[in-house]
């Protein structure tokens, strides 16, 4: 089996400085069939205009980023917890309106003022459980995204795919799955086994490369496919073998990519997708 360009999606973060309308137009110009949207750009455009823009362009919305950050308020901060809960419920509604394949969840780091990882992880599990009924009611699948361990303190205490799978398996499969992002999981010696264990639960597959040297802001250490050290073949084969047949998003956080002309970026991303993923024979 080959991965064709019909499965290509451009995550909006790759062209960070474009408005939603500009990103949609870029996809149309470069024959990109799907887009991963970000909530700040959806809010900027307005939800109804955003829905209309994607639909009129014939673009599928492969994901909405992001919900989560469930730990940004501690257990004693009732107002902060209520605000986080309301924001995440709004994110579920937005994903439903957009027809997104998943609402990606970046779960949040340590609770402010705390070093208690167990507390943070319990809060994440409880918050996802609270969202599940709304997600099921609206037909939205929540995608728990494991982040690289270097982001554990401030972005996600879910720091391996195995942790994400363990968490997802506690909830109905129609409501909660996992996001496999090569940047965050490529290093894991148990990756193949955890992807297999996630069969039926993978709701998004995101790709970019791990480039060296890492910049001072390691979040921006993502590069175009082929520019770094990740071996995409085994990871992609494992994801497909686990039953994932959805879009494959290219999501790049990189200051140089953001500074490049967007049409050049779109052309490069499309070419690399075809050359590196399309050139693989997945059995």
Which CB contacts under 8 angstroms, 24+ apart, belong to 148-156? 148/183, 148/184, 148/185, 148/187, 150/218, 151/109, 151/219, 152/109, 152/110, 152/117, 153/109, 153/110, 154/109, 154/110, 155/106, 155/108, 155/109, 156/68, 156/106, 156/107, 156/108, 156/109
Q: Are 129 and 171 spatial neighbours (Cβ–Cβ below 8 Å)?
A: yes
Is the CB of residue 246 less than 8 Å from the CB of residue 201? no
User: Torsion angle of alpha carbons 222, 224, 228, 231, nearest 10°?
Assistant: 110
Query: Cα–Cα distance between 200 and 108 in angstroms, integer?
Result: 25
Reported as a single tens digit per residue, the pLDDT across 181-195 is 999 999 999 999 999
pLDDT on residue 214: 95
Which residues are bridge partners to 61 per DSSP?
A: 35
Residue 72: φ, ψ to 5°: -70, -15
pLDDT for residue 8: 98
| 257-269 average pLDDT score | 98
Average pLDDT estimate for 201-211: 98
Does 259 score more than 60 pLDDT?
yes
* Residues 3 and 248: beta-carbon distance below 8 Å: yes
Rounded to a whole number of angstroms, the distance between the first and last alpha carbons of the chain is 6
Give 3-67 as a DSSP string. --GGGEEEEGGGGTTS-HHHHHHHHHHTT--EEEEEHHHHHHH-HHHHHHHHHHTT-EEEEEEEE
Q: How do strand 209-210 and strand 222-223 relate by DSSP bridges?
A: antiparallel
Mean pLDDT score, 51-70? 98
Read off the pLDDT of residues 215-236 as tens digits, 9 standing for 90 and up: 999 999 999 999 999 999 999 9
Closest to 180 measured CA to CA, from 241, 236, 99: 236
Place of tokens 């780091």: 109
Q: Which helix (H) or strand (E) holds 222?
A: strand 222-223
Each residue's pLDDT tens digit, 136-173: 999 999 999 999 999 999 999 999 999 999 999 999 99
| Distance in angstroms (rounded) separating the CA atoms of residues 102 and 243 | 16
Cα 251 from chain centre: 8
**By the 8 A CB rule, do 66 and 104 touch?**
yes
Residue 283 has pLDDT above 70, yes or no: no
Segment 244-264 shows an average pLDDT of 98
Query: Given pLDDT bands bounded at 50, 70 and 90, which one contains residue 2?
Result: confident
Q: Residue 279 — very low, low, confident or very high, per pLDDT cuts 50/70/90?
A: confident
Backbone region of residue 202 per phi and psi (left: phi > 0; alpha: psi in -120 to 50; beta: other values): beta
């Amino acid at each position: 089996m080959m991965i064709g360009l019909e499965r290509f999606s451009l995550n909006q973060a790759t062209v960070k400085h474009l408005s939603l309308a500009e990103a949609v137009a870029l996809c149309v110009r470069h024959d990109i069939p799907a887009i991963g949207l970000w909530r700040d750009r959806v809010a900027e455009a307005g939800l109804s205009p955003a829905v209309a823009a994607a639909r009129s362009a014939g673009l599928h919305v492969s994901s909405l980023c992001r919900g989560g950050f469930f730990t940004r308020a501690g257990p004693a901060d009732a107002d902060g917890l209520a605000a986080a809960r309301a924001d995440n419920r709004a994110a579920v509604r937005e994903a439903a309106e957009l027809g997104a394949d998943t609402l990606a969840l970046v779960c949040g780091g340590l609770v402010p003022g705390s070093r208690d990882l167990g507390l943070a992880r319990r809060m994440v599990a409880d918050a996802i459980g609270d969202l599940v009924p709304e997600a099921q009611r609206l037909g939205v699948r929540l995608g728990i995204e494991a982040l690289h361990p270097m982001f554990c303190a401030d972005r996600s205490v879910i720091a391996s795919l195995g942790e994400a799978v363990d968490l997802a398996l506690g909830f109905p499969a129609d409501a909660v799955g996992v996001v496999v992002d090569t940047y965050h999981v490529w290093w894991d010696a148990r990756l193949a086994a955890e992807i297999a264990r996630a069969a039926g639960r993978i709701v998004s597959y995101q790709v970019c490369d791990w480039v060296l040297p890492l910049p001072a802001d390691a979040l921006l250490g993502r590069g175009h496919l082929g520019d770094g050290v990740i071996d995409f073949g085994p990871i992609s084969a494992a994801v497909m073998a686990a039953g994932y047949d959805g879009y494959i998003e290219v999501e790049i956080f990189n200051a140089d990519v953001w500074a490049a002309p967007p049409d050049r970026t779109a052309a490069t991303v499309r070419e690399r997708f075809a050359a590196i993923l399309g050139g693989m024979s997945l059995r």
